[in-house]
A = this chain, B = another copy of it.
Amino acid sequence: MSKLLIVGSVAFDAIETPFGKTDKILGGAAPFIALSASNFDISSAIVSVVGEDFPLEYFDLFKERNIDISAIEIVKGGKTFFWSGKYHNDLNSRDTLETQLNVLADFKPAVPDHYKDADIVMLGNLNPLVQLSVLDQLTTKPKLAILDTMNFWMEDAFIEDLRKVIARVDVITINDEEARQLSGEYSLVKAARAIEKMGPKYIVIKKGEHGALLFHNEQIFFAPALPLEEVFDPTGAGDTFAGGFSGYLTKTNDISFENMKKAIIHASNLASFSVEKFGTERMKNLNREEVQKRLQQFKELTQFEIELS
């Protein structure tokens, strides 16, 4: 069975949307990535850190989905990373109300021996130095290293570290505004080309409700987001996308552009579920039939026949 190594934050999130608010619930990049990737028949492990306040039931959730948690460090007396945010009415923007780094501040990742030869490595959003450390610990060059990051790490204090990670990965997934910030180009076509020069051979630009673009050399593929009646909570949609993308590629063990297209569709499909409930709620109870049914909807949404002459 192919192996997917996931690094990313494990967090408590407190979320407020126009539809309601939550107390501290399970959040962070790694849970969303891992739960999403667990929809494929693969071996996966999370490298992360939590405090002693982290509920054991969450570990059970990971174990049930066959996610290896032996490399989630539990810091005695420590507190788990906490983020709290409030979405605006259109759900397209949000304010961060509070961030407590807690145990994440001094996190030194330790890749377990049995994942140092992982087939695919998914570097979830985190300090670029942590992402670099994970790459440094691998004993075998992975088939594919995928980086997800965000605008926070593009500020002066971190950009040099971020550039080092970018130079070492095969795929980068970022959103449209971040692609513009990183490249200094407004046109996403030009932005992708500029980012490709920084290292990654594949650029995935996530546009939220407007879909996602995959760039590779002169090729471009686009997947829409499924039009939904209601988006309830966008938190973790990008991570769920990254999990679907990396999970599908791990399962199929095929990193051709043609197969990456399929991975993008699977990623968009899984992300469309994630936003339907708070946090990881929807992803915990996702079944195979629901996933297949919505894949069919993706086909109907996008496929057409045109005769070219």
Q: Taking beta carbons and an 8 Å cutoff, which residues of A are in contact with B?
A: 89-90, 186-190, 207, 210-211, 213, 219-222, 224, 227-231, 258, 261-262, 265-266, 292, 295-296, 298-306, 308-309
Determine whether the beta carbon of B210 is less than 8 Å from that of A210: yes
Residues of B within 8 A of A300 (CB): 219-221
Partner of A306, one of B90, B187, B229, B262: B262
Determine whether the beta carbon of B222 is less than 8 Å from that of A224: yes
Nearest CB in chain B to that of A219: its residue? B300
Residues of B within 8 A of A220 (CB): 227, 300-301
**Minimum distance in angstroms from A162 CB to a CB of chain B:** 24
- Give this chain's copy count: 2
Residues of B within 8 A of A298 (CB): 306
Residues of B within 8 A of A261 (CB): 304
| A-B pairs with beta carbons under 8 Å apart, 13 shown | A189-B229, A190-B230, A207-B210, A210-B210, A211-B211, A220-B227, A220-B301, A221-B300, A222-B301, A224-B224, A261-B304, A298-B306, A299-B306
Q: Please, how many angstroms separate the alpha-carbon atoms of A306 and B299 in the complex?
A: 8
17 more CB-based (< 8 A) A-B contacts, given A220-B301, A266-B306: A90-B186, A187-B228, A189-B228, A211-B211, A211-B224, A219-B300, A221-B301, A221-B304, A222-B227, A258-B305, A262-B305, A292-B309, A296-B308, A298-B306, A299-B308, A302-B303, A302-B304
